[in-house]
Structure 1
Amino acid sequence: MLDVRRLRLLRELSLRGTIAAVAQALAFTPSAVSQQLSVLEREAGVPLLERTGRRVVLTPAGRNLVRHAEAVLERLERAAAELADSRRGLAGPLRIGTFPSATRPVVLPALAGLAERHPGLEPMVREIVPAEVGGALRTGELDVALVHEYDFVPVPEEPGLAAQPLYEEPMFLAEDETAAPVTEAEAGRLGALLGRRREAPWITSAPGTLCHTMTVRACQAAGFTPRVRHQVDDFAAVLDLVAAGQGVALVPLLGAAGGAAAGPPSSVTLTGLPLRRRTLLAHRGGAARHPAVSAAVAAFRAAVPEATAGG
């Protein structure tokens, strides 16, 4: 009989590539992971792994077993959801992942809704970078997570996960008050709107983030590579830099609002662009009908800001 816990290890190895990475993600020692995978190979009766330098590659039999493991783990999530549904009332921890610009305008009102409708739940919020969301959901560190994507940077499909659209918001070019007004011919044309600032210094998020990649790709689509002066992840600080004449930036609607009623600095001009940022709610595959996950989905849908509702 194949052990489900060992199947999880094999699935994570297929995604992370090294035993050390699996051990770190699951809080095991590398030797413990190796031992459990060796036991799984004996249970399977065929080689599942091949070593190539520091990496471990799955054999064809190993890859096939991972496909079956995905189906088994999804069925277990569905079973857990049905069992939870049979209990009376929702209680216990609900681990929520989010990104900074969604915390104040979306997560906080969602928490208020959950507290009102399901007082037995204990929401636990964690801000997390998108690259870590998949692993955190699969290992149970998170139950649901807000993730985002841009027109030029779609979210790749993650094995073992499912996601559903939550809301989308427009993108803006943020400039200071000295910027020349947008002409009628430039309005609504990405290449024209960004191309007029090809010589300006740009403010982006840190390299490796979706926001940074989005800015670079949008500018490249307009025919140039941005000359980056500042790299700042906080949109409120980005707008302050723009107001100080330090450069121009691309910001989404919720980033432009800064999560506060005051909005951006009065000296910042925001020009709408034909670009969108979409936010999705992700969870483990098979968990969509879990009562706690369903409650979280309903609370987040009710909390979507009016400015973004309906796109």
Structure 2
Amino acid sequence: MLDVRKLRLLRELAHRETIAAVAQALSYTPSAVSQQLTALEREAGVRLLERSGRRVTLTPAAMNLVAHAETILAVLEQAAAELAGTRTELTGTLRIGAFPTAVRTILSPALVALSSNYPRLELMVTELDPVLAPDALRAESLDVALVQDYDYVPVAPDAALDTEPLLEETVYLAALSEDPLMTHAESAWIASTPGTLCHRMTVRACEASGFTPRIRHHADDFGTVLALVAAGQGVALVPELGALACPEDITLTPLKTQRRTQLAYRRGTGNHPGVLAARAALHEAVARRFSTQTEIARSSGHPGGFTRVAPP
């Protein structure tokens, strides 16, 4: 019989690619991970890993086993969720991960509702870039997370996760004048840290307009980005949630580019009472924000770009 814990290590190796990364994510030592994977090979009776020096790659048999492991782990998560659903009161810990602008605008009101409705539910929030959220969900350091993709930066589905649409936003060119994106080929640019989705979106949107942006400043907080734009330090691409407190002297020019935010959770956990409660609270928070922002846009003439996505 194959050991589920060893299958999980193999699944993580398929995602993280190195034994050291698996060990760090799951709080093992690298030698312990290697020993467990060697034991899994013995249990399977076939070679699962190809070793070349310090590098390890998965064999075709291992990749097939990883696909089965995803199904097995999802069924176990579903069983645990159904057991949790038999309890009379929602208790325990719910760990939620979100990007900074969502923490301020969407997650905060959702937390108020969750705390009020479920006083014995312990809420834990982690602020992180969406690109890191899938790994955190698979490692079980998060239960629910907000993940993203942009036009020009598609994100491949993760077999370990289920997702559902939450919000779509327009991306704006933030500048001191109302000029098309293509006119800023020689401008200084402000972008997020390299490796983030926001940074890749900025680079690829500019490349689609025929130039590579000359990035002078890096900032991950959109409030800081807008302050730099207002100070004449460059131009930037900012999604709707990041532009809610935009300085008056900045012009926001809407682009065709969209940012899409989804709720993500491990396969099989969607009906866990805690995850269900978080899903409902976050959709309600978006509905309230959408309604309020639409009213503000109508009264101020600001081009509101929210599209609320109804829960499934």
Q: What TM-score do you get using the length of structure 1 for normalisation?
A: 0.91
Alpha-carbon displacement from aligned partner over 1:249-289 (angstroms, at most 9, x marks no partner):
110111011xxxxx211111111111111111111011111
What's the counterpart of residue 308 of structure 2? 310
- 1:120 paired to 2:107: no
Alpha-carbon displacement from aligned partner over 1:70-89 (angstroms, at most 9, x marks no partner):
11001001101110111111
Letter in 2 for 1:244: A
The answer to whether the 8 Å contact 1:174/1:242 transfers is yes
What's the counterpart of residue 14 of structure 2? 14
TM superposition outliers: structure 1 runs of 4+ over 6 Å:
none
Q: Aligned to 1:166, what secondary structure does the other structure show?
A: strand
Q: Aligned to 2:85, what secondary structure does the other structure show?
A: helix
What's the counterpart of residue 231 of structure 2? 244
What's the counterpart of residue 221 of structure 2? 234
Q: Aligned to 1:142, what secondary structure does the other structure show?
A: coil
The answer to whether the 8 Å contact 2:51/2:57 transfers is yes
1:159 shift after superposition: 2.7
The answer to whether the 8 Å contact 2:166/2:308 transfers is no
1:61 shift after superposition: 2.0
Distance in 2 of aligned mates of 1:50 and 1:200: 49
List runs of 5+ in structure 1 lacking aligned partners.
Answer: 183-192, 258-262
Give the counterpart of 2:249 among 256, 267, 277: 267
What's the counterpart of residue 36 of structure 2? 36
What's the counterpart of residue 303 of structure 2? none
1:309 shift after superposition: 4.7
Q: Aligned to 1:20, what secondary structure does the other structure show?
A: helix
What's the counterpart of residue 300 of structure 1? 282
Distance in 1 of aligned mates of 2:52 and 2:160: 26
Give the counterpart of 1:209 among 188, 193, 196: 196
Distance in 1 of aligned mates of 2:75 and 2:202: 40
Q: What TM-score do you get using the length of structure 2 for normalisation?
A: 0.91
Distance in 2 of aligned mates of 1:59 and 1:148: 31
Distance in 1 of aligned mates of 2:103 and 2:64: 40
Letter in 2 for 1:253: E
The answer to whether the 8 Å contact 1:147/1:282 transfers is yes
Alpha-carbon displacement from aligned partner over 1:230-253 (angstroms, at most 9, x marks no partner):
111111011111111111111011
Letter in 1 for 2:173: L
Alpha-carbon displacement from aligned partner over 1:141-164 (angstroms, at most 9, x marks no partner):
000001111111122212311111
The answer to whether the 8 Å contact 1:18/1:54 transfers is no
List runs of 5+ in structure 2 lacking aligned partners.
Answer: 294-305
Q: Aligned to 1:14, what secondary structure does the other structure show?
A: helix
Distance in 2 of aligned mates of 1:165 and 1:200: 35
1:299 shift after superposition: 0.4
The answer to whether the 8 Å contact 1:204/1:231 transfers is yes
Alpha-carbon displacement from aligned partner over 1:86-105 (angstroms, at most 9, x marks no partner):
11111011000011111110
Distance in 1 of aligned mates of 2:131 and 2:52: 25
* Matches for 1:52-71 after TM superposition, within 5 Å: 52-71=52-71
1:130 shift after superposition: 2.5
What's the counterpart of residue 89 of structure 2? 89
Q: Which moved more, 1:154-163 or 1:165-174?
A: 154-163
What's the counterpart of residue 186 of structure 1? none
- 1:287 paired to 2:269: yes
1:53 shift after superposition: 3.0
